């Protein structure tokens, strides 16, 4: 969409950062508005906001590094290059929870009482953040032939492949978080114990994430299992505190277990399945391209017509993109949806049609 909003003094201002900042501002004002309802002093808000922002950022970056350890283990300095992108929502959620808990212990505050205020803040903050994801093209979905899709064309977009209809997973995530926010506003007057809003948020948000994860191009097992764990933990704790677990299980044993089982199976197995889609010409035998020897005719014979061609000052630039999305995999309790394989090839040719350089990437 619009990854880069504007440029000030050669400094690029990215849409993702703008909406993340708006998310933090909205979360702050929601917390400020809810402080009286939860009997929280206004004096703690600046320090709480700082702790929550820093701990969320550290947690989001830490989980991203863990999930991409094969790269960062060989490039240690890149761990600290956060401006190049790389944050995971659930890492931010867990990091924010730990940071807030430590803050409550040191400030001698009630974490459950404070968490109800934070639940509303998280919902509105994450919903705005997902708009930033949509603008940047990150967290993109798998290729699809369904009418409800989105195509990213901007060359700075993080979505892959470009010029291809994808599941609008960012919009799904935005709607889920925003609907949870609206639900919590109406539900807050009905809560019966401190921390109830927070547990409801965790349950709904995690089950929503599991559903969206089935449509994401990057189907990560760790993220899915984390969402499953948060859903099960928050649901069980909610039932324990809301209905006094022993009484609840004694009165409605099979009903409660069946509801939890159905919800878990829905999230883990996926009611919505993905199609097996293949777009572009498969890029193989790239090693046969020899700089200064291979011609444009050879490249066309080797990998077919390019996805996009652009004239340059020195000659021509040919861009290839190939993607293949696997069909559904029914692994109970673990994962669903085949991974998406994307191959990109960029070939530069001089005015005589001879290859001067090329770049190949597979993900």
Where residue 91 falls among pLDDT bands split at 50, 70, 90?
confident
Q: How confident is the model at residue 136 (pLDDT cuts 50, 70, 90)?
A: confident
Q: Give just the sign of the alpha carbon dihedral 96, 77, 66, 359.
A: positive
Per-residue pLDDT tens for 193-241? Answer: 888 888 899 889 888 888 888 788 776 666 777 777 788 888 888 877 7
**Most confident of the ranges 84-98, 99-113, 174-188, 333-347:** 174-188
Q: If you classify domain 277-362 with CATH, what class do you get?
A: alpha beta
Asked whether the predicted pLDDT for residue 38 surpasses 70, the reply is no
Mean pLDDT confidence for 138-145: 82
For residues 156 and 204, give the distance between their C-alpha atoms in angstroms, rounded to a whole number.
33
Percent of the chain with pLDDT strictly greater than 70:
75
Q: What is the mean pLDDT of residues 130-150?
A: 83
**Higher per-residue pLDDT: 244 or 63:** 63
- pLDDT value at position 181? 92
Residue 140, helix vs strand vs coil? coil
CA separation for the pair 31, 49 (Å, rounded):
9
**Which of 113-117, 269-273, 326-330 has the lowest average pLDDT?**
269-273
CA–centroid distance for 4 within its chain: 19
Is the link from the previous residue into 161 a cis peptide, with omega within 30 of 0? Answer: yes
β-pairing, 150-151 vs 165-166, is: antiparallel
Model confidence at 183, pLDDT cuts 50, 70, 90, reads very high
pLDDT above 50 (res 356): yes
Say yes or no to pLDDT of 334 above 70: no
Q: What pTM was computed for the model?
A: 0.65
Averaged confidence pLDDT in the chain = 76
**pLDDT the model gives residue 175:** 93
SS3 353: coil
- The predicted structure's pLDDT at residue 81: 67
Say what the pLDDT of residue 269 is.
47
Q: Alpha-carbon Rg of the chain, whole angstroms?
A: 24
Most confident of 118-127, 159-168, 264-273, 325-334: 118-127
Environment class of 52 (CB within 10 Å of its CB; exposed 0-12, middle 13-18, buried 19+): buried
Domain ranges across the chain = 4-40+109-269, 277-362
What φ, ψ does residue 309 adopt, rounded to 5°?
-125, 140
Determine contact, residues 31/113, Cβ cutoff 8 Å. no
pLDDT value of position 2: 57
Q: Does the pLDDT at position 251 exceed 80?
A: no
Cβ atoms < 10 Å from Cβ of 106: 10
Q: Is the pLDDT of residue 171 over 80?
A: yes
**pLDDT value at position 273?**
42
Give residue 176's pLDDT. Answer: 92
What is the tally of helices (H) and strands (E) in the chain?
A: 11, 9
**Tally of residues, the chain:** 363
Neighbouring residues of 271: CB distance < 8 A, sequence distance ≥ 6: none
Tell me: pLDDT of 180 over 90.
yes
Using CA atoms, how far apart are residues 131 and 258, in angstroms rounded to an integer? 35
């Amino acid at each position: 969409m619009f990854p880069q909003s504007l440029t000030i003094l050669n400094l690029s201002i990215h849409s993702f950062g703008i909406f993340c900042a708006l998310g933090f501002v909205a979360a702050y004002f929601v917390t400020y508005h809810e402080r009286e309802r939860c009997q929280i002093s206004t004096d703690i808000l600046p320090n709480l906001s700082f702790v929550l922002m820093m701990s969320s950022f550290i947690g989001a970056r830490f989980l991203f590094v863990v999930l991409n350890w094969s790269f960062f283990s060989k490039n240690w300095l890149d761990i600290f290059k956060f401006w190049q992108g790389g944050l995971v929502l659930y890492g931010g959620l867990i990091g924010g929870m730990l940071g807030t808990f430590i803050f409550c212990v040191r400030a001698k505050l009630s974490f459950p009482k404070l968490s109800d205020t934070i639940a509303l803040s998280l919902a509105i903050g994450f919903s705005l953040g997902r708009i930033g994801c949509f603008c940047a093209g990150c967290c993109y979905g798998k290729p699809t032939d369904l009418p409800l899709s989105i195509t990213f064309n901007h060359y700075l977009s993080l979505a892959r492949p470009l010029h291809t209809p994808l599941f609008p997973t960012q919009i799904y995530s935005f709607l889920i978080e925003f609907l949870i926010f609206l639900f919590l506003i109406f539900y807050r007057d009905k809560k019966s114990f401190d921390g109830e809003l927070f547990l409801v948020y965790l349950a709904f948000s995690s089950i929503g994430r599991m559903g969206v994860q089935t449509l994401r191009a990057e189907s990560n097992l760790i993220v899915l299992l984390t969402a499953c764990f948060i859903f099960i933990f928050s649901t069980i704790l909610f039932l324990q505190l809301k209905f006094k677990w022993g009484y609840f299980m004694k009165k409605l044993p099979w009903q409660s277990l069946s509801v939890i089982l159905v919800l878990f199976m829905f999230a883990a197995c996926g009611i919505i399945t993905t199609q097996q889609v293949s777009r572009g010409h498969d890029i193989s035998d790239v090693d046969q391209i020899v700089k200064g020897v291979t011609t444009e005719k050879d490249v066309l014979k080797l990998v077919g017509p390019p996805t996009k061609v652009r004239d340059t000052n020195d000659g021509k630039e040919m861009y290839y993109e190939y993607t293949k999305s696997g069909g559904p995999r029914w692994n109970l309790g673990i994962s669903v949806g085949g991974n998406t394989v994307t191959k990109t090839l960029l070939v530069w040719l001089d005015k005589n049609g001879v290859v001067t350089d090329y770049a190949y990437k597979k993900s």
